[in-house]
Every structure is written in structure tokens, then in C-alpha cells.
Structure 1
Amino acid sequence: MDDSLCSKCGNLFTSGPTDVFDVTVAPGTRHYTLLNTNEPPDDSDMAFIHSVISKSSVRLAFLDDKIVKLRETVKKLEDERVSLAVFQTENRRVLSPSRRIPSEVLGEIFSWTLPSIGNALSVDTFNIARSPWLLTHVSSRWRAVSISIPSLWSRIIIDYSEDTEIGPTNYPLNLAKTLVQRAQKLTIHFYGCSETESSRQIQMLEFILQHSSHWEELSLGITSTMLPFVAAFHGQVSSLKRLWIQWEHDLLMLDPTISSIDCFQSAFSLLDFGVRQYIPVPVPVHQLTRYHGDGFLEEQLDVLELASGLVEARINITGHRIPLSDEAVELPSLRRLYVTYAAVLHNLKAPALEGLAVRKRQYEHPDISPVGLFLARSACPLQRLSLTGHHHEETTIQLLQRLPSLTEFVFAIEDPDARHHIDLVMSALIISTAPGSTALAPQLQCIVLESKDVDYELHLAMLQSRRRATQCPLRYAALYTQRAGPDPLTFHGHQKLRREGLDLMVVMGAAAHQEAKHWYYADEICYTKQHPAPSVLV
């Protein structure tokens, strides 16, 4: 063996497998040359290289063995760490404040997890991963608490108009049975569809009917196939407090002999009643506190004459002929009224009325005299006036001039091209600081405006002037619009008013119209599908 090779291999031939293997090779040696060039080794070089490989193999085997043992040790340590971390988390969970939440409070929290009726109807498929079903899969305590609260299980929402080709989208019958077992009173939303296979609809309707003694609320969309089964409701609805009925658009065309649905006379607990596409539905009218009618005025006046206890009424008129009555129907307890024709007010008197909403249709004559005569006849303590639809600024301003004590004003324009109407009304509501100037509706504490398009700067100027009023400053304001938000300067102006104490909300987006309806009592008694959620600016 070449001495130069041996002299440069360090302890290669004397070190054991546990010693550190020296892999350095000194430049200028034969070994270095062979490693860093393509020069072929001599016969004397071959033995040395084989010995280096053999020695390094011993060391590699030793290292591999040690690495395997270390990996086993690391795996044991990692497993121990995971186990200990889980154990620590379990012990921390014992100290969680949620464990100390009283069951009553936990139940209240659970009630807020329920989707709204509108959102539930807008979901295309039934999903057991939603509340309340989801609550039973979190823990044994959550399951016990949720099952013990009947109100969490009181709603059955079934809309067969949303069935798809792949199968039913509503409650499976077995889950509906479970729900009924856990509930005490039932809120039923059942909407049939003539275009959907009827046997499943009838099967579910028959099951629900078996538990009619527990019905508290019923919203029913009737098809011709359902009519014989609806007749079976007779004498079965004594606990019903709230009833909404609507018909498929072609029901009367399919069966023109239908003159009334007379199975709800025994609803002796009924307080809230509404019907769309009017067919007479005899109910204990004298006990109603809330009514939504949709049909000819003559039929609705017949109902109103008997419903002296009404607190809220929505009167939607079918047809354009509004007969004038010599003697107005008096509603002594009525607090809130919504009408779709101002001329309807010729036939009514409401001495306790606090809120009046009038919707003007596009081609209706802009005559405010029915409103003025109605208010004079009623001598009511009106607080809120809501004008919706296609009102013009001239008649709107005239009404506000006649009602100086008004405290709440709602103005909602439906015409997408009539921004100038709402702009002129906002301009008229600006309180001038000029000497001798008079304020329009000086007692207003609440102003709610709705329009697809709006002048944010003018809106801010109107609010600022009203906030500066010394006698009766504005306290609440809301703006509902589809227009994008204001520029940064106007936005900061709105924010400044909020910091100064004004309760202000700006709602934008396609759903703004639906959100604004409650201000003028136009929400239907039934629950309809929801639009996409609006954006709340401030």
C-alpha cells in the first residue's frame, strides 16, 4: 500500500465503530487526486479504497442502528407528548366557564342558533347538521339540554316547491316524528306544490294532521290535491293562534266551485289571521288581534266589521274599484294599519291608531284627501306615518305640513328612476337656521328612508340639521338603499353623528327593501324566502 495514502487517512485503520469517522482528505495526496479527478486507480490504490469503503460501512451500520433507536425514542416521546397534551386539555376543559353555564342560560343561547323561518325556507335541502339537530351531537349535556327544550323542536318547515329531481328536500318522515315527540306546541309551515309528486305531500300532511291538537301556528300553501285533506282540519285546531293561508295561482281555475274553506271555525284560540288570493275562510273573527286581508274591499269590510279587537291590520285590495261607504267601520283598538289604496280609508275609522302606512300604486291618482279625512274623522294620536310605493314629493310634503306633531316618518320609494322625489323630500326636511324660517314636521324623532338610489351628502345634511334642532332633536334614522356606500368624507360625517348620540343605520344591497318592510307594517303574516343578506354600513 502507498505510504502517502496511509499517512493521510488519519485514524481510519485504528478507530472503532463508535469513534467519529474522519472524512477529511488532505489536498495533494493520492487519495485526494482520486476523489477529485477521473484518473483511474492503480492496483495499489484499489486495496486502499476497498479498505476505506469497508471501514466506513462499519461506521454507517453503527450510525443506522443508532438512528433507528433514536427514532424509536423520539416516537415514544412524541406519543407521550400527545397523550399528555390531550390529558392537559381534558383537565383544562374541566375549568371551562361553559360548564358552569346554567341549563336555562344554555337553552336561551341554543334558541338563538335556530335559523329564521325565511332562511330555513331558502335552503334547498334538509340538513341534519343545522340547529337544532346539531346541538344533540356536541356533548351529552348539550344533548340533554336541547332535548329538554320543546321550543327548539316546535317548527316543521316543509316546502315541496323546492323538491329536486334527486329526491325530497324536506324533513324525512322519521325525523318529523322525532321532532313532534320533543315538542309541545307546533309551528307548521307546509307549502304544497302541484308540480311535485303528491303521495309524499299527502303522507306528510296526514302525519301533521294527527298532531293538530298541538298546532299553535300554521302557514299553509294549498293545492287542489290537498283540499280534501284540509277539510279534515275541521274541529282539530282549537289550540291554533296564528293562521296564514295562500293558494296556488291556478287553484280557482282548476276548481271554480270552491267558494270557501270552512274548516277553521273551531280555532277558538286564533288571534292572528291572514289570507292571500282571497277565498272566504270563516274564522272566529271577533277574537282576532291581527289581520292580513288580500281581496276585494267588500269582503274585507265584512271581516273588519266583526273584528273590533284588531290591533294591527294589513288591507291589500284586489281590483281598482273602491266603493265609498256612508258609514265607516270603526276599529276602536287598532294601533297599526297598512293599506294599499288610500281610498280605502274612506271606509274606516280608528280612534286609537298610532301608525298608518299607505302604499300608492304607480297609476293611482295622487290624492291625499282620503288620508286627511280619515285622520280628522279618527282624531287618533298618530305617531308614525309611512308612505310607500309611488308617492310624489308634493303630496308628501303637504301631509307632513298637516301633521306637525308627527314623531316618526317613513318614506319608501319603489320607482327606481324617481330619486328626485326622495331628494326633494330630504331637502324639505332640512331645518334652516335662517331667521323666521319654519321647520317641516318639527317633532320628528325618527326618519326612515328607502330608495334604490340616494344622495348620501343630502341625507347627511338633513340629519345634521335635525340633530341641531334645539326643541326636538332627531334620535333615530335609517336609510335603506341598493346604492354603494358614500364617499369617505360623508361616511365620516355619518360616523360623527353616531358618536354624538344619533342611533343611525345604513343598510345597502338587494335585501334592503325586504329589511325595510317592518317599518311600514308590510311584512306578510306568512314567512317568505329571504333575499341575500344586506350590507350594514353603520
Structure 2
Amino acid sequence: MNVPAPGFLVNLFVTDEEAREVRETMQQNQLLMASLDAEIAKAQAALRQLVSQRTEAQKLLESNSAPSDTEVKAIREIIRSKEREMEKLEGEVAEARAALNAMIDRRAEVVEESGPSSSAVDKFDADIEGARSVLKEHSSLPFVAFPPEVLGEIFVHCLPRDTLFIKTSLKDCPLLLTQISSTWRSVALATPALWTSIEVKLSVNSCLPNLALIKTWIARSGSCPLSFYIEESIQKDYYEEGMITSAAILQLYAPHYHRWRNIRLQYQDWRIDTGFLKLPRDTPPQSLESLHLARDFWQPAEYDQLSLMLSAPRLRNCTWVSNTDLGTFHAPFPQLTTLYLERPLIAEDFMHILSEGARIESCQFFVLASAGSNFTRPSYPVLSHNLRSLDLTADLFGPLFNQLELPCLTHISLRRFDIVPHPAPVWPHQEFMSLLTRSKCSLEQISLSDMDISPDQMIDCIRHTSPSLEKLILTNDRRMRHVIVNDDVLRLLTWTTPDAGGSHLNVCPRLSMVKFWNCHSSSDGVITDMVESRWKARDGGPVKLLNIAFLMLEKTTHPEDLRRLDMLNEGRVGISIIRR
């Protein structure tokens, strides 16, 4: 008779053949348990993904762009429903595995008592197989029951929504989807829409991701439009022969030139070859919709190719960060909806671009208004434009405000170019209020940087924009030492209930974000009164609760503010405080 393996119990009255069969059966059971462990691990990985998605949904509920009350209620109900499903699933998996372990243990006892060929053992084998089926069903999760086309569409909706360009991380989609199970992997690899976007970063020492993965990414994209972001942080002084640069990456994408949709190219040194000269020269990329180019200077040899790209018939969004004048390339201003320029313009060029670009909805400009020779003459016509978002850096704002009428404007961001303190105020309050009155626009966001607007003028702006204002961002360079927000401004923004008495009229019922940076001076406790009045839900409260606040406070002069704001932040996060 063979000697049993350590820890292996066997009935001494069975034959050697029967003992061998029992031993093989137990070995098979061990393999079964290993298989079950692997399947459960897959299920747990999928569950972790669902939990992660639930967390992202919860962040959305607390985000700056909060959904409506109806949407919040619906999303919370979905989250609760998914949590109940996951809890039920986890419970069933645990119960099934416990039952399986108990049956395997009991089967071993029966084998010892009755031998491996008894009917009782056969029944246990059937029950064990049934338990295994239950675990397999749960480990696959409901998604596997979907047709591959539907599952692939679900995968596409798992891609990050906050960026056009996907980072190649094993912790994020789409690579994460290839690690859950063989079914998910095969579906993910067969879904071209998952592989249409990529972010590439190049330095002296690395190319992330590597060329092989970039090639694989392109191959998986099928015939879908392509989006890619190449950031090259290589200086000519450190360049060596054979080093991977953006030119090598563009060569991989050149055969797919007709599929380019969203392109972002960012270079550190204008002397390094971009690879543009090796791109097709006979036609623009027909699918190109968004183009972001950042390079100090463009070489004349590249002008023709740049002009060709800018002539793409579907181009709608353009960002130009360069000292080379965009006008050199006959930019398609009439067809653009978004235009961001960081190169300084004179006021006349600014007005000319807006007059040509009648479809522009969002723009960013840097204007030196003092350089315009004839711009301020009385006969210069007022331009009515359908801009929705204006981000403007300038040395003089008054002349620009006087020439504009913006009835659709919802977001305005103003930044003064010259931050050196002036002996007299430079904020053009009369011109700004005239612009708002003339335009009859509903501003949702006001952002002022390095402005010397006074508290009384700020109160005037708040009252005028009160019905629609949602975000108020006021930031100054610390060298300005200029106060915009004082007790009067804060008390105006403090929400009071109707039965509180007094003649205070509540303003800005939709305010959801404030940022006061190096522009604030108030008595201890006043700023917390304002935040607290908009932080907690109550009858007769504002339409929207304040959910984000950025504040800068002195520890020595605002101990009460800091204590109370920390308490508010413990109950519901969203308050960021710089303690000085």
C-alpha cells in the first residue's frame, strides 16, 4: 500500500487503487479551488472598477459644475441601486464559496467512511459542480451577458471625460479594461474607438509611452479619427543623434494624416526639427477639428505646411502660442468657434479678428491697447458680437470696452498686463458697467486678476450681475496690496432669512464658487458668516449652495474665521484656505 502524503487522510481498509482515486480527486479539488480563486479575483477587480466609477459619480455630485436637483436625485438613486447590487453580489459569492468549502470537506469525510465510489460521493460531486457554476456566474458579472457591441459601447463611456488625450496607464481606461478578464480583453482590443487618443511626452531620457506601444495604439484604432498630444521638452544643446523627438512620432502618424482630428503639439526648443516637412503637402487634414500649437518661433520652411493645416475645412478650435504672427498663415477666423492667442496684439488687430470671426464663441487675447494709433477715434464703430467667453489680458481696458457689445457673454476673465501699482486707479468702472448695460448679458462668471477695482465698485458689479452670477474670482499679485473685498462686500454676499429683519436684500442666489486671493481685508468672523450662510441648506436659502471657496487668511487676525471654516469643511469639503 502506498504511503499517504503528509496531511492526506485515507481509509486504511480501501485498496491501493481506491486510495489513488481519492488522491486524484482531492488534487482535482485543489485545482478547482485555485480556479475559483482566480475567478473570484476577476470578480473583485470588476467590483473595484464599479466602486471607482461610483466614487467618480459621487465627486460629480460635489463638483463645481453641479447637476440640477432632479439630476442629483436620479444619480443618487442609481448609486444606491448599484451599491445594493454589489452588496448582494458580494454576499452571494461569499455564501457560495463557503458552501463549496463545506461540501469539499464533507466529501473527504464521506470518502473516508464509504469509499470513493459510493452514491453519496456522486451526489457531492454534483453539488460541488453546481456551486462552481454559481461562482462562475457571479465572477463574470452582468456585463458578460451583453453582446460584444454593447459591451464595447459601455467601455467607450468609461474613457476619461475631462481630456481629449488619454494617458497610457494600467490603472486607467482603456488599458485597465484589458486586465479584468479574457472576455473584456478581447472586446476592448476589438473596439477601435478606445484607441483613438493618446498623450506622448518626450524628454532627453525617455519617450512615454514607447514607440512600440504608440504603433500598437494606432493599429488598434482601425479607421477612427485620431487625437494625439505630443509634448517635447528637449533642448537643442542636449540633443544627440538617434534621440526620439516629435518628428519620429509624427512619422508614425503621417500615413494616417487624413484621420487627424484633435492635435496638440508643444515644443520647448524651436531649433529642433518638428517633422512637419515630411507630412503630406497636397491637401489639408480633412478631419482636423482642433489644433493646438505651442512653439516660440516657426521656421519659414514650415510656413506652407502650417498654412495647409490651418486651412483644414473642419477646423473649429485653434490655440496659437508663438511669437510668430498667426496672421502670416491666413488663419481661418470666419470658421473658428474657439480661438486662444498668447501673442500680443494691437487693439486694431483684436477688433479685426473679432469682426472676421463672427462664429467665435470663446476666445483668449493679449491686447496692448495703448499701441493702437487710431483705435480710440470717436468714429470707430461699436462691434456687436456673440462671444460667450472672453479671456482678456490688456494694458488698457476702457477703449476696448467702449467698442464692444456682447449680448451672449456669460464668462469674462480680465487680467491687467502692467501690475506695477499706479498712483491713480486704472480700473475702467464706468466703461465696464456701460458694456454690461449695453450688452444686456447674463454673466455667470467674473474673474479679475491684478485689478484695482474698489469695494464700492465691486458692490456695483455684484448687484448688476446678481441674478445670474455663479462664480466670483478675485486675485491680485501680493505686491499690489490692494483691497477689493471688505466687510461691506462680504455682508452684501451674506444670505439672510426673510424673518431676520432689516432692509438687507439678498443677492446672487446662484453663487456656487468664490475665490479671494490677496485682495481681502475684513473683521474676524465676517467672511465665515458669508460662507456659512451659503454652505448649509435651509428654508428660504439660495437657489444654489456654495460648494467651493478659496480663501487666504492671516492666522493672527482671523483665528475665529479659521476655526469655523475648518468646522464647515469637516462637514462637507470644498473650502481651501491659505494660512499666512
TM-score (norm 1): 0.65
Alignment of 1:204 with 2:204, yes or no, is no
**What residue is the counterpart of 1:245 in the other structure?**
293
Alignment of 1:382 with 2:429, yes or no, is no
> Is this contact kept in 2: 1:419–1:451, CA < 8 A?
no
Q: Please give the alpha-carbon distance, in whole angstroms, between the structure 2 residues aligned to 1:81 and 1:272.
A: 62
Deviation at 1:227, TM superposition (A): 5.4
**What residue is the counterpart of 1:366 in the other structure?**
427
Deviation at 1:268, TM superposition (A): 0.6
Q: Indicate the SS of the match to 1:383.
A: coil
Distance 1:401 1:146, change over 3 A: same
Q: Which runs of 5+ in 2 are unaligned?
A: 11-21, 40-131, 554-558
Distance 1:419 1:85, change over 3 A: farther
Deviation at 1:115, TM superposition (A): 9.0
> Is this contact kept in 1: 2:411–2:443, CA < 8 A?
yes
**What residue is the counterpart of 2:86 in the other structure?**
none
Q: Give deviations 1:182-215, integer Å, cap 9, x for gaps.
A: 2211112123334444753222222222211101
Deviation at 1:142, TM superposition (A): 1.3
The 5 A counterparts of 1:319-398 are: 321=371, 324-326=375-377, 327-328=380-381, 330-341=383-394, 342-343=397-398, 344-361=400-417, 362-363=419-420, 365-377=426-438, 379-391=439-451, 392-394=453-455, 395-398=457-460
Alignment of 1:224 with 2:284, yes or no, is no
Q: Which has the higher contact order (CA 8 A, sep 6+)?
A: 1
> Is this contact kept in 2: 1:307–1:331, CA < 8 A?
no
Distance 1:232 1:137, change over 3 A: same
Equivalent AA in structure 2 for residue 450 of structure 1? K
Equivalent AA in structure 1 for residue 158 of structure 2? W
Deviation at 1:487, TM superposition (A): 6.3
Alignment of 1:191 with 2:253, yes or no, is no
> Is this contact kept in 2: 1:333–1:350, CA < 8 A?
yes
Q: Please give the alpha-carbon distance, in whole angstroms, between the structure 2 residues aligned to 1:153 and 1:81.
A: 41
**What residue is the counterpart of 1:61 in the other structure?**
none
**What residue is the counterpart of 2:58 in the other structure?**
none
Q: Indicate the SS of the match to 2:183.
A: helix
Q: Please give the alpha-carbon distance, in whole angstroms, between the structure 2 residues aligned to 1:363 and 1:179.
A: 50
Q: Give deviations 1:219-264, integer Å, cap 9, x for gaps.
A: 122433335725846523221111111114xx37xx6999894233
Deviation at 1:411, TM superposition (A): 2.0
> Is this contact kept in 2: 1:114–1:132, CA < 8 A?
no
Q: Give deviations 1:37-93, integer Å, cap 9, x for gaps.
A: xxxxxxxxxxxxxxxxxxxxxxxxxxxx99975535499597455234245556312
Return the match for 2:339 from 284, 291, 300: 291
Q: Please give the alpha-carbon distance, in whole angstroms, between the structure 2 residues aligned to 1:468 and 1:207.
A: 55
Alignment root-mean-square deviation, CA: 4.3
Deviation at 1:312, TM superposition (A): 1.5
Distance 1:409 1:138, change over 3 A: closer
Q: Which runs of 5+ in 1 are unaligned?
A: 1-64, 499-504, 511-538
Q: Indicate the SS of the match to 1:283.
A: coil
Q: Please give the alpha-carbon distance, in whole angstroms, between the structure 2 residues aligned to 1:385 and 1:134.
A: 37
**What residue is the counterpart of 2:475 in the other structure?**
413
Q: Indicate the SS of the match to 1:477.
A: coil
> Is this contact kept in 1: 2:251–2:278, CA < 8 A?
no
Alignment of 1:112 with 2:158, yes or no, is yes
**What residue is the counterpart of 2:128 in the other structure?**
none
> Is this contact kept in 2: 1:296–1:319, CA < 8 A?
no
Q: Please give the alpha-carbon distance, in whole angstroms, between the structure 2 residues aligned to 1:419 and 1:67.
A: 91
Distance 1:284 1:225, change over 3 A: same
> Is this contact kept in 2: 1:301–1:329, CA < 8 A?
no
> Is this contact kept in 2: 1:445–1:472, CA < 8 A?
no
Larger radius of gyration: 1
> Is this contact kept in 1: 2:390–2:413, CA < 8 A?
yes
Q: Please give the alpha-carbon distance, in whole angstroms, between the structure 1 residues aligned to 2:538 and 2:35.
A: 64
Distance 1:436 1:468, change over 3 A: farther
Of 144-153 and 65-74, the range deviating more from structure 2: 65-74
Deviation at 1:270, TM superposition (A): 0.9
